[in-house]
């Protein structure tokens, strides 16, 4: 009987640890998109901010980070493009999304700004601008 209770106790502890780990994993990423433009986002140090915005590189336009508050946020790799057309290969002119990832490196505040433009065009206003105020605790 004592061995059975010990076994049950271990199962309960493992289940609790698994649930806590699963809960932490989902909170590690904070996802935002076009509807969050101009908003304040709060993160904990170590969390990842995931920004996904509509894009169509076949037009020459792409999103570029112009401000990220390097002491607070650190971009993780390059932007990833995903076509919204599921055909392989997607037909020319298909749009999709670009996704950027930023790690909250230290406590503080920063402005994150991305512009949607043709990188080779100088002295031309961006087609769109996306900004977030980011507070890291």
Alpha carbons within 13 angstroms on the beta-carbon side of residue 86 total 0
CATH number at residue 118: 2.60.40.2020
Report the pLDDT value the prediction gives residue 90, as an integer from 0 to 100.
79
CA 105 – CA 68 distance, rounded (Å): 12
Domain assignment present for residue 59? The answer is yes
Cα dihedral 26→28→34→38 (10° resolution)? 130
Domain assignment present for residue 41? The answer is yes
Encode pLDDT of 16-28 as tens digits: 333 334 444 447 9
Q: Using only the alpha carbons of the chain, give its radius of gyration.
A: 21
> Counting beta carbons within 10 angstroms of the beta carbon of residue 65, is it exposed (0 to 12), middle (13 to 18) or buried (19 or more)?
middle
Domain assignment present for residue 7? The answer is no
Domain assignment present for residue 15? The answer is no
Domain assignment present for residue 14? The answer is no
Domain assignment present for residue 82? The answer is yes
How many folded domains does the chain comprise? 1
CA 18 – CA 39 distance, rounded (Å): 33
Q: Which residues make beta-bridge pairs with 108?
A: 136
Domain hosting residue 105, numbered range: 29-136
Encode pLDDT of 118-129 as tens digits: 999 999 999 999
Domain assignment present for residue 90? The answer is yes
Q: Would you say residue 38 has pLDDT above 80? A: yes
């Amino acid at each position: 009987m004592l061995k059975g209770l010990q076994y049950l106790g271990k199962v309960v502890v493992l289940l609790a640890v698994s649930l806590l780990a699963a809960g932490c994993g989902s909170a590690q990423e904070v996802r935002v998109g076009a509807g969050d433009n101009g908003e304040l986002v709060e993160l904990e140090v170590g969390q990842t901010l995931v920004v996904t915005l509509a894009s169509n590189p076949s037009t020459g336009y792409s999103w570029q980070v112009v401000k990220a508050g390097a002491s607070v946020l650190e971009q993780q790799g390059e932007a990833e493009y995903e076509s919204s057309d599921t055909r392989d290969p997607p037909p020319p002119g298909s749009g999709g999304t670009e996704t950027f990832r930023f790690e909250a490196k230290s406590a503080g505040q920063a402005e994150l700004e991305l512009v949607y433009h043709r990188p080779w065009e100088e002295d031309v206003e961006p087609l769109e601008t996306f900004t977030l105020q980011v507070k890291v605790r």
